[in-house]
Amino acid sequence: NAGVTQTPKFQVLKTGQSMTLQCAQDMNHEYMSWYRQDPGMGLRLIHYSVGAGITDQGEVPNGYNVSRSTTEDFPLRLLSAAPSQTSVYFCASSRTGQGEGYTFGSGTRLTVV
């Protein structure tokens, strides 16, 4: 039972490059989210989805795109990487979307130079 799988675990990008962070869950959860975590700032919501074909913006959406073509996958795209996007990115999924039982992936540590 894999839960939430994120790839890659580590990535270094040059300023201006684009990339996609992958997230997949095998629990048939409708609700999925992307967060970034910076020191001393907790987790900040980037984008979220309440089901296939439905996405919405969170607290810090600028510079990121998402899509949800299947229930299982929720990739996060960085359009033109900036040093300010250096962070740890977590994907999470939930059955109810009500705050209980969010399952997080192990994270992607991204450095933009």
Partner 1 sequence: GQSLEQPSEVTAVEGAIVQINCTYQTSGFYGLSWYQQHDGGAPTFLSYNALDGLEETGRFSSFLSRSDSYGYLLLQELQMKDSASYFCAGLSGGYNKLIFGAGTRLAVHP
Q: Which of 1, 14, 28, 40 binds partner 1 (CB under 8 A)?
A: 40
Burial code (b: 16+ CB inside 10 Å, e: under 16) for 5-18 equals ebeeeebebeeeee
Q: How far apart are CA 22 and CA 92, in angstroms?
A: 12
Q: Is 5 in the site for partner 1 (CB under 8 A)?
A: no
92 near 33, Cβ under 8 Å? yes
Which one, 80 or 111, has the nearer CB to partner 1? Answer: 111
Q: Is 43 in the site for partner 1 (CB under 8 A)?
A: yes
Single out the segment in contact with partner 1 by CB under 8 A; choices: 13-21, 34-42, 67-75, 79-87.
34-42
How many C-beta neighbours within 10 Å does residue 74 have?
29
Query: What residues make contact with partner 1 under the rule CB under 8 A?
Result: 31-33, 35, 40-45, 48-50, 56, 58-59, 90, 92, 94, 96-107
